[in-house]
Structure 1
Amino acid sequence: MSDDSIPTTLAGRLRTLIAGLSVGDRLPSSRDLVREHGVSPVTVTRAIALLASEGLVVTRPGSGTYVAARRGTGGGFGGAENPGGAVFSGDTAWQTVALTDRAVDTRPVTDALGPPPPGTLLLDGGYLHRSLQPTRALAAALARAARRPDAWDRTPTSGLEPLRAVFARGVGGGVQPEDVLITAGGQNALSMAFRAIAAPGAPVLVESPTYSGAVAAARAAGLRPLPVPIDDQGLRPDLLAEAFARSGARLMYCQPTYQNPTGVVLAPERRRRVVEVARAAGAFIVEDDFARLLGHGTPVPPPLVAEDRDGTVVSLTSLSKPGAPSLRIGALVARGPVMERMRAVRQVDDFFVTRPLQETAVELTSAPGWARHLRALSAALRERCVTLAAALEAEIPEWRVSRLPSGGLHLWARLGPGEDDAVLAAAARRHGVSVSPGNRYFAAEPPAPFLRLGFAAVADRTELREAVRRLAAARREVMG
């Protein structure tokens, strides 16, 4: 029997067990399952992770694994929690056939283990903890925006001119407000750019590793992500040129500043060369500049689009990361017909981004408190980054963090020989800490096991240290 089939076999046995249990019943402990079925702790971990991904069980740190609520038994507008509503009981099997060619793969951006239970320390978060958000400034900005007499009027498709001017100034390099299109956050900008530039079935070059949400958005647009390796200085122009030549791609996605997940900054001597390579291939670069306002105090080069004179670069950015998750305001920056194409996509998608939120963003970024917030955030992120790295060195010296990033929200840790990132993530969840397996950041096979570990989504540095202690305990369980 292969190593992969043993957890699958155990999962099948546990499905039979679960079928005879009720929602909320506790499954036997990992120790009992090891003894009863004669398997290793790693096999049990993999089997439980498989069942959790199917929605059959939930794990509760320090308590155990429990039978999950059956799908379709919840409340909503009808059913048990709404007796007056109609209960749908039709046969939807026909939809499986009708939707065959319309699949949207959300696996790169969803947690296979399900939502973390209360009390879980989040090392997999991609946004700021509430303690780091400018909540008072946001509340004040929202209140001022709501008092505007035209707060609920329609906005131009491109967005409010004052907000476009804010983003244009942030880019520099002669970018004007007319070169900016307001979007509903960075992910929306990414999806719009992919659909506007490339046709379904076309290849798109991506860094390897890369932001998992970009892979998901590309595939949802019908594109084929093709990986281009990076090193400690970012994209290699020689490999990029080869990838363009071999694939015929006319689109490349990259994050030159504080790359997610590695934190790498594209070296200054490579920046111009990367744009030249794309220009020679007749291709666009989609530059994801999501982290420019998440620096740790070290100056960074300007965005690629600021020095682009041929319309090769389409740049996107967002206020959601340095502000708050629900501040869904982003921007696309481009010149030439590609901007008209993206405006057309915005027009047919949803006409415009809601005006009250745009007005709030103008109020927030125009107030003196915004600059103070960014300075305080920079210092806090630097402290947290150092704290997480030191805790890992003390608790799990076998893992290698090759560099401390000079910005961003994450560390990229390479695991030791024989370790499995998915298995470790499942074990970590049982110990009350949530981490991101590295395999989701690769468009092809990963070269080694990694974890992306965030330092911004927990309350403080004390929680960071506790999270690493829990992670070390999970690793000891897995390693035996």
Structure 2
Amino acid sequence: MAGAASTLPAAAAAPPMDARVIKDRRSRPVVLVILSPSAWGGGPPRPVPSRPCMRDTLAPLSRLSRGQRPWAAVIFSPAARSRRGTARQRLCPQRRRINRNGRPGHKEVQMRIEEWQPDLSGQPGPKFRALANALREAARSGLLAPGTRLPPMRDMAWRLKVTTGTVARAYQVAAAEGVIESHVGRGSFVAAPPARRPVPQPLLYESLDHPMSQQGPADLRIPQLPDCGQARVLARHLTALADDLDADVLDYTPLSRDQDCRAAALDWMAVRRVGPASTGDMVLTHGGQHAITLVMALCLADQPAQVMVEALTYPGIVHAARLMRAQTLPVALDDQGMRPEDLDRVARASGARLVCLTPSAQNPTLASMGAERRAAIIAVARRHDIQIIEDECYAPSPDPQGPPSLRALAPERVWHVSSLSKIIAAGLRFGILICPEGMGQAGRVAAQHSHMGLSQPITGLVTRLIRSGDAARIAREVKELVDDRLALAHEALDGLGMRGQPGVPMVWLPLPAPWNAVDFVARAAVAGVIVRPSSDFCGPDQVPVQGVRIALNCRMPRARLAAAVDGLGRMARSGPLAGPD
């Protein structure tokens, strides 16, 4: 501001003051009345001089026209302002500080918006971006509390010596980022920080005890393969592999270096009737879960972010969809799995073009599709141009008389997922993805983008397992032991509608009325057996059917597993009013 200078006489009744005439940005005269510390006489603060007193003080200006007459502004000297602020604090106690987590703060520094003066000088980029960054940092650090009202754009521009357009663009950027929120007729305010997204439940539970222990509850939540000496076989092959490692292990794995492992995996899959396939159609992944996530990333890139899933589905599929920010749409089930007429309805209503299903061993209900049902599903998929993820990680051992896979029926649109984790050893983390015809290269490039390809020790180990015949031998022994545990479940749960599949280490138990699945699980836990309710496999808006999934922990002593499953059967038959067994 440019100052103009004139000291005016003070009225006798007025406190000591100094009045000066200056000009504002629009060259209008302004009278500044500066009160000295002695104006308050060391006592309690008194009000600003009354209007008549002020008018007497400015009497020499009364002859000016209305357009030339200045407006009065009062500025307190530092000492007077300090005393005035102290008096305000006595009258209005400082409010309790609340930190950004919603709890009473501790030594948190907050300021009024009038005191906030960001330094935009020396900041890279345009001024509006620097102001938006300053707003974001002040809100993030708690310097400006949520709900703080921002000055109008013109006032902020005047304070920061920038244009109104600069402030307007800065407010727009901050509003788009969620830093501030604007309301018509009310102004702009610092927005409250967004609520943190809850951490989802893990896919795997920590085991409550050692599988071979006789103490503690019987944990039947996660299927566990029997011990057929897999660790010794893997150790032997790893030792031989270590002796054969060369300098190639120092390099990243190019797309073609896993060719030998893909050829071995193709031989392994030959008995599973997956339709026409070559090594060019195959992608190697870190297990079946990784393969499902990879397919969703590929298919949802240019499609609606929606995935149709079975009404009761494995939670890993839902978590994979969430990673892609995709909505899951439930499709009704019956005793053969997904119903094609409901798939048609959901596809028409939503426009979704991706479905994930488990046709051979539905998880958790263990339903299996017949040949006619599979053909009907393919017909709906072709009608709506739907891509299909065929999750066959839990598929039973191949049956020459069984129905063909979905990929054999529609190789142009089915992504077939398999894994050695459910057959050989869960810790191996090796998955096989057979892509639709012509999509193998795209799948391998996407896999390279996500994890740079499988490491050479893993591909070398799997190649040796398959070529030596150890993988096939272990798979046969695992199936025999799983079928033995399955026979225990059939005997203990006879007459209750239990459903299982050969070689699959889990069963589904529908609960008779008036049982509720959550109550049944709680009652079973009191009796020392832990299982999973149907609600664990439902979406948030679904009404679950009343049933439980019982994992056959094949590493548990046979007698202990038999006693646990037998107790579940007796409890299901006796009803919820009988009390824990």
Question: What's the TM-score once normalised by structure 1's chain length?
Answer: 0.70
Rounded Cα–Cα distance in structure 1 between residues aligned with 2:199 and 2:304: 15
Q: Does 2:390 match 1:287?
A: yes
1:461 paired residue number: 558
Distance 1:94 1:223, change over 3 A: farther
Distance 1:269 1:469, change over 3 A: closer
Rounded Cα–Cα distance in structure 2 between residues aligned with 1:430 and 1:194: 40
User: Any residues of structure 2 matched to 1:300-449 within 5 Å, and which?
Assistant: 300-309=402-411, 311-335=412-436, 338-393=439-494, 399-401=496-498, 403-443=499-539, 444-449=541-546
1:220 paired residue number: 323
Q: State the AA in 2 paired with 1:423.
A: D
1:68 paired residue number: none
Shift, 1:132, TM fit: 4.2
Distance 1:196 1:235, change over 3 A: same
Rounded Cα–Cα distance in structure 1 between residues aligned with 2:543 and 2:234: 40
Q: State the AA in 2 paired with 1:269.
A: E
SS class of match (1:107): coil
Rounded Cα–Cα distance in structure 2 between residues aligned with 1:446 and 1:299: 37
Percent of residue pairs bearing the same amino acid type: 28
Rounded Cα–Cα distance in structure 2 between residues aligned with 1:446 and 1:363: 47
Q: Is the 8 A contact 1:116 1:429 kept in 2?
A: no
1:83 paired residue number: none
Rounded Cα–Cα distance in structure 2 between residues aligned with 1:218 and 1:188: 12
1:67 paired residue number: none
Q: Greater shift after overlay, 189-198 or 232-241?
A: 232-241
Q: Is the 8 A contact 1:458 1:464 kept in 2?
A: no
SS class of match (1:109): coil
Q: Greater shift after overlay, 231-240 or 354-363?
A: 231-240
Q: Is the 8 A contact 1:296 1:378 kept in 2?
A: no
Choose from 547, 558, 571 the match for 1:450: 547
1:230 paired residue number: 333
Shift, 1:244, TM fit: 1.2
Shift, 1:352, TM fit: 1.2
Rounded Cα–Cα distance in structure 2 between residues aligned with 1:168 and 1:242: 36
Shift, 1:348, TM fit: 2.3
Distance 1:159 1:285, change over 3 A: farther
Choose from 254, 257, 261 the match for 1:163: 261
Shift, 1:425, TM fit: 2.5
1:254 paired residue number: 357
Shift, 1:196, TM fit: 1.6
Q: Greater shift after overlay, 200-209 or 274-283?
A: 200-209
Q: Does 2:314 match 1:211?
A: yes
Choose from 262, 273, 285 the match for 1:183: 285
Deviation by residue 1:323-359 (Cα, 9 ceiling, x = unmatched): 1111011021113564444333322222111211111
Q: Greater shift after overlay, 216-225 or 328-337?
A: 328-337
SS class of match (2:427): coil
Shift, 1:211, TM fit: 1.4
Rounded Cα–Cα distance in structure 2 between residues aligned with 1:108 and 1:100: 24
Q: Is the 8 A contact 1:123 1:458 kept in 2?
A: no
Shift, 1:183, TM fit: 0.4
Shift, 1:434, TM fit: 2.1
Q: State the AA in 1 paired with 2:279.
A: P
SS class of match (1:286): strand
Shift, 1:460, TM fit: 4.1
Distance 1:461 1:159, change over 3 A: farther
Distance 1:358 1:221, change over 3 A: same
Rounded Cα–Cα distance in structure 1 between residues aligned with 2:398 and 2:567: 27
Shift, 1:202, TM fit: 1.6
Distance 1:144 1:305, change over 3 A: farther
Q: State the AA in 2 paired with 1:229.
A: A
Rounded Cα–Cα distance in structure 2 between residues aligned with 1:142 and 1:355: 12
Q: Which has the higher contact order (CA 8 A, sep 6+)?
A: 1
Q: Is the 8 A contact 2:435 2:443 kept in 1?
A: no
Rounded Cα–Cα distance in structure 1 between residues aligned with 2:291 and 2:278: 18
Distance 1:406 1:423, change over 3 A: same
Choose from 360, 369, 378 the match for 1:266: 369
Question: What's the TM-score once normalised by structure 2's chain length?
Answer: 0.59
2:296 paired residue number: 194
Q: Greater shift after overlay, 464-473 or 137-146?
A: 464-473
Shift, 1:387, TM fit: 0.7
Aligned length: 377
Shift, 1:447, TM fit: 4.3
Q: State the AA in 2 paired with 1:266.
A: M
Shift, 1:388, TM fit: 1.2
Distance 1:103 1:132, change over 3 A: farther
Q: Is the 8 A contact 2:371 2:404 kept in 1?
A: no
Q: Is the 8 A contact 2:492 2:569 kept in 1?
A: no
Rounded Cα–Cα distance in structure 2 between residues aligned with 1:364 and 1:104: 41
Choose from 343, 353, 363 the match for 1:240: 343
Rounded Cα–Cα distance in structure 2 between residues aligned with 1:385 and 1:319: 20
Q: Greater shift after overlay, 365-374 or 294-303?
A: 294-303
Shift, 1:126, TM fit: 2.8
Shift, 1:148, TM fit: 1.8
Distance 1:478 1:236, change over 3 A: closer
2:218 paired residue number: 121
User: Any residues of structure 2 matched to 1:32-181 within 5 Å, and which?
Assistant: 103=197, 106-107=200-201, 109=203, 116-117=208-209, 119-129=216-226, 131-132=227-228, 134-150=230-246, 152-153=249-250, 154-157=252-255, 160-169=258-267, 170-171=269-270, 172-181=274-283
How big is the alpha-carbon RMSD for the aligned residues of Structure 1 and Structure 2? 3.1
Q: State the AA in 1 paired with 2:551.
A: G
Rounded Cα–Cα distance in structure 2 between residues aligned with 1:473 and 1:173: 45
Distance 1:333 1:179, change over 3 A: same
Shift, 1:407, TM fit: 4.2
Q: Is the 8 A contact 1:204 1:223 kept in 2?
A: yes
Structure of greater Rg: 2
SS class of match (1:259): coil
Q: Which runs of 5 or more residues in structure 2 are unaligned?
A: 1-139, 143-177, 180-192, 211-215
Rounded Cα–Cα distance in structure 1 between residues aligned with 2:482 and 2:389: 26
1:66 paired residue number: none
SS class of match (1:152): helix
Rounded Cα–Cα distance in structure 1 between residues aligned with 2:413 and 2:504: 25
Shift, 1:458, TM fit: 3.6
Rounded Cα–Cα distance in structure 2 between residues aligned with 1:421 and 1:105: 24
Rounded Cα–Cα distance in structure 2 between residues aligned with 1:261 and 1:201: 27
